[in-house]
Amino acid sequence: MKDGDELIVFRDVHKAFGPKVVYRGLELEVYKGETLTILGGSGVGKSVMLKMLIGLLGTDRGEVIFDNERVNDMGPPKLARLRQRVGMVFQSGALFDSISVGENVAYGLREHYAHAMDEKDITERVSWALTSVGMPGIESMRPSDLSGGMRKRVGVARTIALQPEVILFDEPTTGLDPVNVTRMNHLIVRLKHQLNVTSIVVTHDMATAFCVSDRLAFVHKGRIAEKGTKEHFKRTTNPIVQDFVEGRSPEDEDLAALLSG
């Protein structure tokens, strides 16, 4: 991507929760149309970054920019519009068990577009979204009847039903078996091309990262320690990133030897 294509920018972002410092000068750009994967160990603030982008959390210092506007300065009306343009797929799927799959997928449409869409439009959009994630015709089922992988795909359907410009995936493959991990990875790639969306994927799973990403960024000690293409990450000589990519713990030589052998 060439300079000037930035859709999202984190500029000198600082964030702490009491004594716990999460970011100390975060600098990161996301280009329009790409899939960027955020990597890092547990507790480094990967999900915090997503929440700052959609205004659920503020910054202590620095700025978050979306499409040339400062998220920091947005009031409730502009934040509402931002959240229509940026859809989030939660780690758990976050479905309502008390209503059907179809009503779950339609939920955001009724919240945001009730004035612009009639019931026929909503029904057609729900059908399109479920078909897009490979689950046509399950509108009448309950989330409790679905497997973990199916629930996650319904969560994706609910997000894309709003036809966002950006999709945020928070640990999309956590808790899934290998078959469903592969299915979810392929879905992320397919949606990028089918919907022409920009995606940010938060994951600790390197197979997912290398499958879905155009670029990757590695968070360490409150900053981006490394960023680049998949090929760059496979060739990196940064020992901290190498250990993470290869699944090694630098404190455990025996485990490192076992994994490298």
pLDDT band at 93 (very low <50, low <70, confident <90, very high): low
Residue 142 falls within a domain, yes or no? yes
Question: Is pLDDT above 60 for 38?
Answer: yes
Distance between terminal CA atoms of the chain? 37
Model confidence pLDDT, tens digit, residues 227-243: 999 999 989 888 888 88
Question: Is pLDDT above 80 for 144?
Answer: yes
Query: For residues 97 and 144, is the Cβ–Cβ distance under 8 A?
Result: yes
Q: What token pair was written down for 40?
A: 């890092």
Question: Is pLDDT above 90 for 43?
Answer: no
| Number of Cβ atoms within 10 Å of the Cβ of 119 | 9
Single-letter amino acid, residue 93: G
Paired residues of 69 in beta bridges: 66
Question: Is pLDDT above 90 for 11?
Answer: yes
- How many angstroms separate the CA atoms of 129 and 131, rounded? 5
Q: How far is CA 199 from the centre of its chain?
A: 6
pTM: 0.87
Full residue range of the structural domain in which residue 191 is found: 6-260
Question: Is pLDDT above 70 for 184?
Answer: yes
- How many angstroms separate the CA atoms of 178 and 43, rounded? 24
∠ CA 220-177-125, nearest 5°, is: 90
Model confidence pLDDT, tens digit, residues 101-133: 999 999 989 888 878 888 999 999 999 999 999
pLDDT of residue 117: 87
Question: Is pLDDT above 90 for 94?
Answer: no
- How many angstroms separate the CA atoms of 61 and 168, rounded? 23
Residue 161 falls within a domain, yes or no? yes
Which position has the token pair 């960027």? 36
What number is the average pLDDT over the span 134-161?
93
Question: Is pLDDT above 50 for 186?
Answer: yes
∠ CA 198-183-225, nearest 5°, is: 50
More confident residue, 92 or 96: 96
Residue 34 falls within a domain, yes or no? yes
pLDDT of residue 42: 81
Count: domains in the chain: 1
pLDDT band at 245 (very low <50, low <70, confident <90, very high): confident
Give the domain CATH number at 170.
Answer: 3.40.50.300
**Could you give the 3-state DSSP secondary structure of residue 87?**
strand
Query: For residues 202 and 192, is the Cβ–Cβ distance under 8 A?
Result: no
Which position has the token pair 């004594």? 19
Residue 163 falls within a domain, yes or no? yes
Distances (CA, A) of 44 to 52, 60, 89, 91: 14, 16, 20, 16
Residue 173 falls within a domain, yes or no? yes
What number is the average pLDDT over the span 193-199?
93
pLDDT of residue 205: 87
pLDDT band at 148 (very low <50, low <70, confident <90, very high): confident
What number is the average pLDDT over the span 124-147?
94
Question: What is the DSSP track for 182-232?
Answer: HHHHHHHHHHHHHHT-EEEEE-S-HHHHHHH-SEEEEEETTEEEEEEEHHH
Residue 254 falls within a domain, yes or no? yes
pLDDT band at 162 (very low <50, low <70, confident <90, very high): very high
Give the closest residue to 137 by CA, choosing from 148, 146, 145, 128. Answer: 128
pLDDT band at 250 (very low <50, low <70, confident <90, very high): very low
Give the closest residue to 148 by CA, choosing from 119, 124, 181. Answer: 181
Query: For residues 104 and 158, is the Cβ–Cβ distance under 8 A?
Result: yes
What number is the average pLDDT over the span 123-146?
94
Residue 1 falls within a domain, yes or no? no
